[in-house]
Amino acid sequence: MRGDYGKVTVIEGDTGHLTFGRSQTTLGSGNLLKLLQLYCSNSGARFAACLQPYPARLEAKDFTLDTDNRLHNILRATADDPVMRDTQDIFFDRTYWEPAMRAAEKMGITSALGVAVVYDGHVHGSWARMRDRADKQAGALNAIGERAWVQAYVKVRRSWLAGSPRADLRRTVYRMDAFQRLIDQGYWGLELPLVALGIEISVDSMASTPHGCFDGPQPGSRILTLQTPLLRGLDVRLVQLGLSERGIDIMADGIFGQTSVKLIREYQAGAGLPVTGVADIALIAGLCA
């Protein structure tokens, strides 16, 4: 499990506002702009032209982007681009992983589970405050030992999240519950395979195409119709993105369901085309041009 590279989230009350990517970087922090600038600086970035209208609004922290469906769909589609996936890996390593590793090393945390807890604190926020609170309540790590300190930190952080006045933070106690379960099971080395939050983490799952990403089929290689099971793929996502670019309110999730059929019918009717709800090769070529 490598994370959801196309995850777009807007949580009511979240000071970060629009949030995107494998490790969820935000409009409010300014890091979303930095991520997209890094991506667009690569000459091979497939969606750089689509993103061209947005840097100024991102820099101004224009919070109307929280509801900009066109931008959200472009962000979802970028996850299908290996350039974006590589860019996110580089960016999030620099922004969160490397500082977390330095913090863990400074404290003397060496277990895989302990490092994961530190990393989560850097990604989720308020790491230093919770670290100091754990020190105050349970004692410093060099006094009580790594495992006791990590358990204390998880307990302190869970209590802080559960008691937060922000509903969005209260809902994230599951993160600490997942760590507590791993602690209870003694998985300090995080040996693979293992299951966390109902998700398999193994060598095979980490080598597979990331969740929610599509490497094919290419647009025009098949006709898109409502089928069972539903058609999924890059071609579906790009057709949906094409509709979005034309002002149609659709989520570019890469799944060709009844909503896609309905909105294609509406597009066909408006364009004077036969109203079939089917994306034939000609329609796909027009929408994906």
The pair of structure tokens assigned to 264 is: 């294609």
Q: Do 122 and 185 fall into the same domain?
A: yes
251: CATH? 1.10.101
The verdict on residue 166 lying in a domain is: yes
**Average pLDDT for 95-115:** 97
Q: How confident is the model at residue 289 (pLDDT cuts 50, 70, 90)?
A: confident
Ramachandran quadrant class, 17 (left: phi over 0; alpha: psi -120 to 50; beta: rest): left
Q: How do residues 223-241 score in pLDDT, each as one tens digit?
A: 999 999 999 999 999 999 9
Do residues 18 and 65 touch, judged by C-beta distance below 8 A? yes
pLDDT score, position 198? 83
pTM reported for the whole predicted model: 0.89
Domain of residue 34 covers 8-86
User: Which of residues 208 and 122 earns the better pLDDT score?
Assistant: 122
Strand partners, 19: 9, 26
With 0-12 / 13-18 / 19 or more C-beta atoms within 10 angstroms meaning exposed / middle / buried, residue 107 is middle
154: CATH? 1.20.141.10
Q: Do 159 and 246 fall into the same domain?
A: no
Q: Count other Cβ atoms within 10 Å, centred on residue 93.
A: 14
Angle at 68 between CA 48 and CA 218, to 5 degrees: 45
Q: Do 187 and 249 fall into the same domain?
A: no
Q: What is the DSSP letter of 157?
A: H
Do residues 257 and 269 touch, judged by C-beta distance below 8 A? no
Residue 163 has pLDDT above 80, yes or no: yes
The verdict on residue 73 lying in a domain is: yes
Residues sharing a CB contact under 8 Å with residue 169, sequence separation 6 or more, in sequence order: 161
Sheet architecture: strand order including 25-26: 8-9, 19-20, 25-26
The verdict on residue 268 lying in a domain is: yes
The verdict on residue 97 lying in a domain is: no
Q: Do 176 and 248 fall into the same domain?
A: no
Residue 59 has pLDDT above 70, yes or no: yes
How many distinct structural domains can be found in the chain? 3
Task: For residue 33, give Cα distances in angstroms to 30, 38, 39, 54, 221.
Answer: 6, 9, 10, 9, 34
Q: How confident is the model at residue 2 (pLDDT cuts 50, 70, 90)?
A: low
